[in-house]
Structure 1
């Protein structure tokens, strides 16, 4: 089941993937910026701020050298300003301790301010091709329905079971596409309310269907 499920999911994603500007870049810095912006903020909002922020701070060095006032000004309107402070602090750490490069592994990324398990896994898989599964709201919903995983998704035990399911079917060296495909399926098809099951290309594999 898992191989055909994943194959059909990736085939769907190859055609139906959302057109998002950060997906056009392989620059780890740009991907990091997008993932921090997407914390607790809707994609539609980030679409407006992401290119503007990169215009102001196109490189890690530019961000590290900037005054925090200028960083906060460029962030203005996105809210949760702690994220901007964490970006600025992290940029300084990366210049001073990592040769101006983002770490490639999720474990090392989690040492930076403002990066938790999801953000670390997303950056590691998308920017560096690491075999990391991730859990966001969309992916939690998709996996819960596919495999009828019960329990409160906010609880650690439930998250461990969800992550184990994702790990079990994640294709080797395709974590980036796999993770983003599940995100898009949850955002466009497997909706919280009134899911569009008839339009789902993997409905035959879904235990909740």
Structure 2
């Protein structure tokens, strides 16, 4: 778990691992402790630092899969570059307002799209939770879907979800899926 950020009161409504007593503490360290309380047999490394590109590649190289739960576009692009560079599967999820999205990227498979194929480097802002807010149940829906997709990749069960962008609107309760193709001119994966 990598996160240099500290817990803020505004996180509590959607980041259920944390409590009021955790405000001001590092997110990765608190989450590590909380998960160890749930299951003491787990092995969790907490990385309480901002990760530059070289460190992202180093960590991605040691991972079986990457779950991107970041809340900003530049970080998502950097995580994608590390996943592509190391050919590590990536499950990317995001939520803002009442809308969430999830996609599985498989740089370990030939001719599959990456995050940059879908969201090119020209898109500079996707809005932050602090600015636009996020409907707290939405984070749980997107997060559990992200976990399911990661487990499907790791275990090889179910229908592969790569090559698709799934979006969910919490107000309508509806999912939509869009096909995503590999961009032969993508600056990251081509």
Please identify the structure whose Cα radius of gyration is greater.
1
Q: Which protein is richer in helix relative to its size?
A: 1
TM-score normalised by length of structure 2: 0.36
Q: Which protein is richer in strand relative to its size?
A: 2
Higher relative contact order (CA 8 A, sep 6+): 1
TM-score normalised by length of structure 1: 0.33
